[in-house]
Structures are given as structure tokens and as C-alpha cells.
Amino acid sequence: MRDLYQRLALAPDVDAPTLEAAIEACPNRALRQDAEATLVVASHRQRYDETHRVLRDIGSLRARLGLTHAPHWQGEAANDFSQPSSGPASSLDTLTSRVSEAVSLFDRFKRLGGGWLLVALFVLGACVGLVGGLALAAGLGVL
Amino acid sequence: MPTGGFSSFERVLIESRSQVDTAVLLLLAWVLVKRRGVSDSQRRRRLAQVTGHFRHGHAPTAMLEIAREQNIDALQLAAEVIRRDCDAQRRQAVMHQAITLATDDGTLSTENHHVLRFLADVLTLAPTTLATLFLELTGVALGRPEDISRQAYWLEHDADYREARAREEREANEREAREAKEREARQAAEAAAQERKRQEQARRDEVQREQAREDQARREKARRERARRDPGPTPAPSDAYKTRRALAVLGLASGASRADIRRAYRRLAQLNHPDRFYTQSDHHVALASQRFQRIKNAYDYLIKASL
């Protein structure tokens, strides 16, 4: 399957009048015919858009997983939906590091006294608020 | 470091008792979501049925939701988990389950064509392995996915569209035929008009020829009479004219001296001598010799006349 939007230089969510104008202006007769059959009829376009989205997502998944040159990815779909490879960043490794970071944060919190630390913080905040309120009241009373 | 909390799939994956099972569950849910003509409750039941022996320990419904959103971060994570943790036997089993889910009703949707191939790549199964597995499970060979970006597909699969196109085409043909007929009629009319005009012209020509013949005869008679009266020689073209033409050939004004004529002749003869064009084509040589001859004749005439 080809990416007709890409070949017509349009965004996939383009509105119908712009789409039809672009199809009219397309110089390639075969492409114009196919685009008219596929994109101008509303039900056809809906079906095409669903498949288009799947292929686009598979294209970016393959780019992320390093599968852009895998044996099952060939033909027009591979030509039109391949995306530039985005490097070896593994989301699984990222997830693992985030989890371990969260764990270490939690450990430090526990080591510092856990619940008592929270209570102490709350009391301190309440004291500061009380003192500030008294000072403000005294100032207003003087005025 | 990415900011923000953990996504719903990440949380499920962390809490899962078996990460592989969770990941497989998500990918199978994706296959199931891409099947057409199935209700949500049917999907849920089918997924629960297939994954009954999994040890993930959470409800599979959430996976269907994530798969429906087609969250590619979640799908990437699942694919990576599977790649890391699945052995060869499990890979085959997962592919087996995916094909079964995709072809429960005997058809394979266009989306699932691509999804299954993607899964085969994630599970590092070769195309031949996938084809064999598919043939064993469904009894039909795995064909190429249909290309729904072509007019031919819609003409074949959408009867309404085909009829509409056929009607349009018929109308266009009729219109064309009608126009062709009109054009033919117009051309015939034009041809008839031209024929009439031609005949008229021929008649007029005949009259003119007749008149010309009469004139000729009259002139001939007059000339004969004149000749009888005055039998002198026909006058030669005037010498002045010939001289002027010869001088023009040499590029001179009238009243040029012999020395001017000689100098002009030398220059032009050198410029136009055929030997200068020897390296070019025969055609150039022939043209040059023509020009040279004309210049030489003019010079000869002028020299003779000025003696």
C-alpha cells in the first residue's frame, strides 16, 4: 500500500476541499485516478485512514526497534512508511532505570525517618504560618 | 530522564507477575482490535479464552484499551520485553496464537496483514516460517496484503462504486459518441461547401483561361503586325544595369575606379575561395565555388567594360 497523502504532499488529516484541489492539481494521471477512488469517497477514505494509521505506527515502531531492514518489511509499504532510525534508545532500559531511581528515592525517604519527617515538616510549616499571621495582625493593629 | 509519572502500561508491566505474559497479552490484544466485524464483548471473551493459562495476574481488559489507542510507546515496550525474554519455543507459540486470533473468521484484515508481519519480525521468524505456520493453521497460503490505495481494489470490492464508475463511463462514452457524430456531420457539411466552392472556382478558372487565350491571340496578332511594320533586333539589357549589378556583387558603389575593383576582387576572392572550405563539407565547397564564380564573372565583366 502506498502513502497517498505523502505522495500528494498533504497531511493525513487534511479537509476534503483541500484534498480534492490537490488531487485535481496532481500531474500524474494514474495517481490522480487512485487518489480519487480511495480518498474522495468518504467510506473508502475512512478505511484507508485506519490502515494508514496502522502502517504509520508500525513504521515508527520499526524505526525505534531497529527493524527497518527486517525481512518482512518490504515493497511499497516499506518504501512509503519507513522512518529514519531514531538510535538505540531502549524504552525497556529507560523504564528499568526510572524504576530503580524511584526505588532509591523511596529508600532515602525511609532512611531519613519516613513518616516522622513528614510530621516534623508539617509542624514546622504550621509554626511559620502562625508566626507570620501574628506579625501581620500586630502590624495592622499598630496602623 | 523523562519527566512525569509512569504510563498505565508501564505500571501494569511493573506490577505484573510475568512481564512476558503481559507483553504478549498486549500484542495479541492489538491483533484482536484490528479484526473487523467483532464486538467488544466478543473480543474480551476471546482474549480471556486464549490467555487463560497466562500468569500475569491482572485483568486483560485494560490491555484492550491500550491496544485500541494504539499507544506506540506501550507497543514498543511490549516488543522489547518479548525480544528480551522469549525463547524460540515461546516465540513460535506467540505467532501461533496471533495467527489464530487474526483469522478466527477465515479472513485476514489488511491491517492484520501488516501487524502479523511486524510481529514475525519482532519474534525473528523468517518469512518462510511464517508462511508455513499460516498455511498449517488456516489451510490457505499467506498472500500479499491487498493494496487499498489503488482504484482497481475499490472497483473489485465496492459494488456501488463500480456501478457508479460504470455509469459515469457510459455517460462519458455516450457524450463522446454524440460529439463525434456532431463533428462528423459538421465535417460533412464543410466538405460539401468546399466542393461547391471548388466547382465554382473551376468554372471561374475556365472562364479566365478562355479570356487569357483570347488575349494571347490578340497580342500575338498585334505583335505580328508590329513585326511586319518594324523588324529591328530585340533590345539587349542595358549595360548600365549590368555594371551596377556587378559592382554590387563586389560591394562597390557606382563610379569605382579600376584599382578599387581590383582590390575588392582580390579581397572577396580570398574570402570565398573554395580551397578555404576544403576541410568542411562538400556542400560548403560547392557553395563557395558558386560565390567565387559569381565574383569572378562580375570582375571579368567590369574589367572588360572599363577597357
Which one of A69, A95, A98 would you mutate to disrupt binding with B, by most B Cβ within 10 Å of its Cβ? Answer: A95
Domain for residue A75, yes or no?
A: yes
Contacts with B73 from chain A: Cβ below 8 Å: 91
**CATH for B8-145?**
1.10.3680
Same domain for A60 and A13: yes
Q: Do A72 and B161 touch (CB under 8 A)?
A: no
| Superfamily, domain B239-305 | DnaJ domain (1.10.287.110)
Q: Do B80 and A98 touch (CB under 8 A)?
A: no
Average pLDDT over every residue of A54-70:
87
Here the cell at position B249 is 556583387
- Nearest-CA distance A15 → chain B (Å): 18
Q: Tally the C-alpha atoms within 13 A of residue B211's C-alpha that lie toward its C-beta.
A: 6
B113 touches chain A (CB under 8 A): no
Q: Do B114 and A34 touch (CB under 8 A)?
A: no
Domain edge (last residue) among A31, A53, A81: A81
Going by pLDDT thresholds of 50, 70 and 90, the confidence category of residue B232 is very low
Question: Distance (Å, rounded) from C-alpha B199 to C-alpha B196?
Answer: 5
DSSP tag of B244: H
Q: Whole-number mean pLDDT of chain B?
A: 86
| Positive or negative torsion for Cα A77, A78, A83, A87 | positive
B69 touches chain A (CB under 8 A): no
pLDDT of residue B238: 63
Q: Report how far apart, in Å, the C-alpha atoms of A126 and of each of A8, A120, B191, B195, B276 are.
A: 65, 10, 110, 115, 115
Q: Report how far apart, in Å, the C-alpha atoms of B196 and of each of B148, B193, B199, B207 are.
A: 60, 5, 5, 17
Same domain for A75 and A27: yes
Same domain for A72 and A8: yes
Same domain for A73 and A102: no
Q: Report how far apart, in Å, the C-alpha atoms of B278 and of each of B272, B275, B284 are.
A: 11, 5, 8
Q: A101: domain range?
A: 93-142
Here the cell at position B277 is 572550405
Any long-range contacts for B254-261 (C-beta under 8 Å, 24+ apart)?
B258/B303, B258/B306, B261/B299, B261/B302, B261/B303, B261/B306
H-state helical runs in B103-146: 110-122, 127-138
Q: Report how far apart, in Å, the C-alpha atoms of B89 and of each of B28, B78, B85, B94, B144 are.
A: 17, 18, 12, 9, 26
pLDDT of residue A113: 75
Average pLDDT over every residue of B78-104:
90
More confident site: A87 or B67: B67
Same domain for A122 and A75: no
Nearest CB partner across the interface for A61, out of B34, B72, B161: B72
| ipTM for this model | 0.80
B57 in helix, strand or coil?
A: coil
Average pLDDT over every residue of A75-103:
82
Here the cell at position B158 is 465496492
Same domain for A105 and A133: yes
Percent with pLDDT over 90 in chain A: 34
Count of domains observed in chain A? 2
Nearest CB partner across the interface for A71, out of B115, B126, B154: B126
Question: Which residues of B, range 144-203, sit inside 8 Å of A by Cβ?
Answer: 144-145, 147-151, 154-155, 158, 161
B33 in helix, strand or coil?
A: helix
Does the pLDDT at position B234 exceed 50?
no
pLDDT of residue A125: 96
Contacts with B145 from chain A: Cβ below 8 Å: 1, 77
Yes or no: say if B28 and B98 are a contact pair by the CB < 8 Å rule: yes
A23 in helix, strand or coil?
A: helix
pLDDT of residue B30: 93
Domain for residue A131, yes or no?
A: yes
Does the pLDDT at position B107 exceed 50?
yes
Same domain for A108 and A64: no
Same domain for A71 and A15: yes
Same domain for A67 and A36: yes
pLDDT of residue A88: 63
Domain for residue A86, yes or no?
A: no
User: Exposed, middle or buried: residue B140 (CB in 10 Å: 0-12, 13-18, 19+)?
Assistant: exposed
Contacts with A76 from chain B: Cβ below 8 Å: 147
Question: Which residues of B, range 224-263, sit inside 8 Å of A by Cβ?
Answer: none
Here the cell at position B132 is 508455513
Question: Which of B78-82, B219-223, B266-270 has the largest mean confidence?
Answer: B78-82
H-state helical runs in A1-143: 4-7, 16-25, 29-35, 42-65, 75-81, 91-111, 115-142
Same domain for A71 and A14: yes
Same domain for A52 and A12: yes
pLDDT of residue B1: 40
Question: Distance (Å, rounded) from C-alpha B179 to C-alpha B238?
Answer: 66
Yes or no: say if A72 and A81 are a contact pair by the CB < 8 Å rule: no
pLDDT tens per residue across span B240-282: 777 887 888 787 877 788 888 899 899 888 888 888 888 888 8
Question: Distance (Å, rounded) from C-alpha B169 to C-alpha B163?
Answer: 10
Same domain for A70 and A10: yes
Contacts with B84 from chain A: Cβ below 8 Å: 92
